[in-house]
Chain A
Amino acid sequence: MSAKAISIHSSRGGTGKTVIATNLALILAKKGFNVALLDLDFRAPSLEMVFSEVIERPVKCWLNDFLNGECSPEQILIDVSEKYNLKGRLLIGLANPTMDAIRNIMEKSRSWEVTAVKKLFSLLDSLFTDMKIDCCIFDTSPGVQHSSINAIVSSDVSMIITTLDSLDLKGTENMLVDLFGALDKKPVILVNKFSPEARIKSSKISEKIISKLEKTLKHPVIGVIPCYCDVLQTERTTLLAIEKPNHPFIKDLEKVAAELGYT
């Protein structure tokens, strides 16, 4: 199969993008795929904290530095495959979470953003051609922001995470038309944090939701993941795909990976 860049996006915050991006990356690497997971949420970076137990301090190069043209792709990528005993490689690229770095990114000009999107394309080229990566996952900022749209433009597949909250759904609907439609991108939708009852009659309820949403949003819905209280209560540093590989949330994400073509 050909290598893909997948951007994980949502119209609003709190939909579970980072948890999904992280565990999806781990699931693929456990299967033997070579994966890169990049934190493109420069305004609220979180992967640095998620992987805090395995990364060496101080972090030498951040994704911010790469986009500024201050370091090479090899310098920003941290290989965590051995730490988790993964079959494939998992390389992570972190966004700088310091206040200075966040302020700096917020002050960037539109011309810098043009350079940034071009750097992103060149990074993907290095990942796929030189480093033999099978899948690059972008964890993005919610809503319409430069870094997120840069990720959407440079990715092959965009996965929008939505809950069934009416504001979230309306935001998703607007984004599908005004953003993805304008960019001629055809995203897939993943419903997360659906009512816990869905777990009991899982397949039938999911099918109904999928069919209804596909009619409304006019885009494929690749899964419905119920709300698991224990997932919400888990520490961010707990990586379910590693620590609880049989958890239903991980099983649901394995189905999503298959839908994306990674079997």
Chain B
Amino acid sequence: MCEAETPDIRIAGLLARITAELREVNEKLELLTSLNRKMLETQEKLLQKSSKEIKPPAEFKLAPDVLALLSLPTSLRKTVMVLYKLEKATAEDIAKETKRLRAVESASANQLVRLGYLKKKREGRDVYFYIEPQLEAIE
């Protein structure tokens, strides 16, 4: 005849099972975290590669003259108009003139850089946007 389990033994067995299952869950979570990290790394590499691919070549540039302005969306047009006035400007400088958010100007200016209308350069911590002085325009 089997000796009846005392409540203490039952609780100890239950706790041991819970611990074992938690350990298993933990291992699975660690695996998932590691997989997720690898996915993020791959995604970032792909993004970097594709942004390099869509980036216009260094010699690609367009003259942002007033007639070109008319074909640009209003948001981009305002940014160019400020850069006619200022030699070079950070997104914050542009935002002060247009009374729009710095983030909006940063997005507009970067889009204009990608389109080939503007250039940008880093000076210390600041990024300056400017119209290249000696443009060889694509007419």
Interface size range of chain B in the complex: 20 to 34
Contact B66 A113 (CB under 8 A): yes
Pick from B84, B135, B136: contact of A117, CB under 8 Å: B84
Q: Which A residues lie within 8 Å of B135 (CB)? A: 111, 114
Q: Which A residues lie within 8 Å of B131 (CB)? A: 114, 118
Contact A115 B77 (CB under 8 A): no
Pick from B63, B67, B77: contact of A111, CB under 8 Å: B63
Contact A109 B81 (CB under 8 A): no
Question: Counting CB contacts under 8 A, is B49 at the interface?
Answer: no
Q: Which B residues lie within 8 Å of A149 (CB)? A: 66-67
Chain B residue nearest to A118 (CB atoms) is B84
Question: Counting CB contacts under 8 A, is B104 at the interface?
Answer: no
Would you give the shortest CB distance from A41 to chain B, in whole angstroms? 16
Q: In the bound complex, what is the Cα–Cα distance between A39 and B85 (angstroms)?
A: 20
Question: Counting CB contacts under 8 A, is A235 at the interface?
Answer: no
Interface of A is mostly: helix
Q: Which A residues lie within 8 Å of B74 (CB)? A: 182, 184
**Residue with the greatest number of chain A CB neighbours at <10 A, chosen from B64, B78, B85, B136:** B85
Q: In the bound complex, what is the Cα–Cα distance between A115 and B66 (angstroms)?
A: 11
Q: List residues of A (3-38) whose CB comes within 8 Å of B's CBs.
A: none
Contact B63 A182 (CB under 8 A): no
Count A-B pairs with CB separation below 8 Å.
Answer: 59
Contact A154 B65 (CB under 8 A): no
Contact A183 B85 (CB under 8 A): no
Q: Which A residues lie within 8 Å of B81 (CB)? A: 153, 183
Q: Given A109-B63, A115-B133, A121–B68 Cβ distance below 8 Å?
A: no
Contact A113 B65 (CB under 8 A): yes
Question: Counting CB contacts under 8 A, is B58 at the interface?
Answer: no
Q: Which A residues lie within 8 Å of B134 (CB)? A: 111
Contact A153 B137 (CB under 8 A): no
Binding site for A on B (CB under 8 A): 63-70, 74, 77-78, 81, 84-85, 131, 133-137, 139
Q: A113-B63, A114-B63, A114-B131 are in contact. List 18 more A-B contacts (CB 8 A).
A: A109-B137, A109-B139, A110-B137, A110-B139, A111-B63, A113-B66, A114-B137, A117-B65, A118-B84, A118-B85, A146-B67, A153-B81, A182-B77, A183-B69, A183-B70, A183-B81, A184-B74, A184-B78
Binding site for B on A (CB under 8 A): 109-111, 113-115, 117-118, 121, 146, 149-150, 153-154, 178-179, 182-184
The 9 A-B pairs with the shortest beta carbon distances in the complex, nearest first, are A111-B137, A111-B135, A149-B66, A110-B63, A111-B63, A113-B65, A110-B65, A121-B85, A110-B137
